[in-house]
Structure 1
């Protein structure tokens, strides 16, 4: 399970992206980027972060460590922005935190070369989880201590917004024509050979077990949180074996 910490100080809102996360300190003396349950995208964004972040880490990618953060909205009383105060009030309880990578730089494809092997692994992973938010416009990649780190997986697994159509949605191809790493000639086939066999029922059960019950409760069509956890695992297991053949938009990449 994810480590649970308690927010002790709200530092500042981070006004980048649509969800407006915040920066907080916690009782373990860590500093975290906090994603709120009360944000407009809702708790499914946090579930996607947990599933994709946990899966990425287990497959060998560099992603910030995730924790659950207990938030008392009183921490935001000194915040002058009414919108931020409203967000804090609506997010009382369990939220999602990720390690703050102090000093990290946003990825620039003109400044940071990436091997075809690493590019292929990232494109394959993004195809697996159907990440539509790793474009050259918004890479959601950071350079930290000379290494490439993956962040922000809230816009993945779009099928979980419509469970009755999940199987159909999950079977669609992945369009990589705007992917931030397209120009590095990603070797998706080699990545699939290495990574696909690692995506097993047991691995996905381990990953989905980290989703807090509170973020799964009340989903129409599911009797228990564990039923919903299995629903999250099922499309990923099916995609892992075949998704490399469903990646489009890399034709003609350098």
Structure 2
């Protein structure tokens, strides 16, 4: 099978996912195990297909360095691999975390749950017992979604069209569309986040950096803020 045929297959697979609006998940399990089930679904739906495409297409090097197919887009944005480093990302994440924790504290003091961009109730933990499975979900999302939407799908579309802007742009659009269960606000927020991760990838040339940023962002939203909020609200009730 030629690399273009593989690219077409990955693109068709993305269309099927968009049509379904959800991933391939294991058999139903008790609600208490939902986060672990979703984490497995992320690997089945995104991680394994992305890795299979890279292996069959002979693109393993893309896991370690920016694929040559993306270099014209990187140059057009005046971004060179290495322009963005971990220090820049860490500063941004730290600033966002501090603001998020302050907002969480303010809402928790008033008996409100942590703020989320869009309707994220379906994935938010509802008890301390769900924090560990939610951690697995956050890390899995960071790894698998970046593998698929930042690398495999954009690369496949770029190989098919010859235009990296189309490949990366459609990758961002598909990433946002697969989060439509969070409503319009969630889709817009996800699109913005996907665009930022794409810039980070093009400017760093290293996929591990957007993976780390994505995973840490999800850990903040799904684990840190809910745990902090729950503790503040429990203290307020005891008083």
**Structure with a larger share of its residues in helix:** 2
- By relative contact order (CA 8 Å, sep 6+), the higher-ranking structure is 2
Provide TM-score, normalisation by structure 2. Answer: 0.28
Provide TM-score, normalisation by structure 1. Answer: 0.27
